[in-house]
Amino acid sequence: MDLGDLDDMARLLGDPQVMRHYPRPKDRAEARGWIEWNRRLYDKHGYGLWLLTLRGNGAFVGDCGLTPQSVAGQVDVELGYHVRAELWGKGYATEAAAACRDWARDVLGLHRLIAIIDPHNLASQRVASKVGLAEERRIIRHGRQQLIYAMDPHDASCVTGTW
């Protein structure tokens, strides 16, 4: 992801459907900040959110990847994903999330992944479950109730293997 992707990312993060479980959609300046944040993550950690594109034609799908997140005073690596609303239900988030889970396990050697999910976001909960994360607890974060899904990517019993 780089600033050349700003148009796509601004459309994605500015879409009220995609962002309905966030406080509000992001404007273009905030989408630029999102890209710059990810660039800093790449430099510091070697990972962040990456663009999702279709193999056949390179069409923009969304983003998915790993970001460090502070939850109740503990920093964990979150598996996150956003897909263009018109492409929901095609398995793109699940495929990308599973690949990121495997990369976190095989390349980074992580023993814990989380997903921070709005309790009303059933689609995101399904993606998390399909790649092996399970609801761990409910918290209040930034003034909003959130679910924490978690897993140890090395624990084969957690991975349901949908792909």
Domains in the chain (CATH in brackets) are 3-158 (3.40.630.30)
> What separation in angstroms does the CA of 147 have from each of 75, 79, 82, 139, 141?
16, 13, 17, 6, 10
Convert the pLDDT of each residue in 49-105 to its tens digit.
Answer: 999 999 999 999 999 999 999 998 999 999 999 999 999 999 999 999 999 999 999
Convert the pLDDT of each residue in 4-14 to its tens digit.
Answer: 999 999 999 99
**Contact residues for 117 (Cβ-Cβ < 8 A; gap 6+):** 21, 124, 125, 128, 146, 147, 148, 149
- Do 43 and 36 contact (CB within 8 A), yes or no? no
Distance, CA of 74 to CA of 5 (rounded, Å): 32
Read off the tokens for 59.
């069409």
Residues of the chain with pLDDT > 70: what percent?
95
pLDDT value, residue 161: 46
* Alpha carbons within 13 A on the beta-carbon side of 90: 12
